[in-house]
Amino acid sequence: MSQPVTVECPTCGAPVEWGPQSPNRPFCSERCKLIDLGAWAAEAHAIPGDDLEDDVFSGSLPPREH
């Protein structure tokens, strides 16, 4: 029988077995999952954007009328 796949929790680095017995994977716990969510909400994490797409939101466009 093969060894279960283990990954590191992105928040604290604890080992997490990848499978149904770890419902918060890749996080080790609900706490670490919420810490990561809070970092995204506080914009501590970000995915780099595309300069062309960012120009669309540059403010050089006239405001939309609702």
Domains of the chain, residue spans: 6-46
Tokens 């609900």 belong to 30
Confirm whether pTM is higher than 0.85. Answer: no
Could you list the residues known to form a binding site for Zn(2+), using ranges. Answer: 9, 12, 28, 32
Q: What pLDDT sits at residue 62? A: 67
Higher pLDDT, 55 or 45: 45
pLDDT tens, position by position, 23-34 = 999 999 999 999
What is the C-alpha separation between 61 and 41, in angstroms, rounded? Answer: 27
Higher pLDDT, 56 or 33: 33
Higher pLDDT, 46 or 66: 46
Give the CATH fold of the 6-46 domain.
Erythroid Transcription Factor GATA-1; Chain A (3.30.50)
| Phi then psi dihedrals of residue 61, to 5 deg | -90, 145
pLDDT tens, position by position, 2-17 = 888 999 999 999 999 9
Q: Which of 23-56 are b and which e, b meaning 16 or more Cβ less than 10 Å from the residue's Cβ? A: eebebbbeebbeebeeeeeeeeeeeeeeeeeeee
Closest CA to 10 of 27, 25, 22, 30: 27
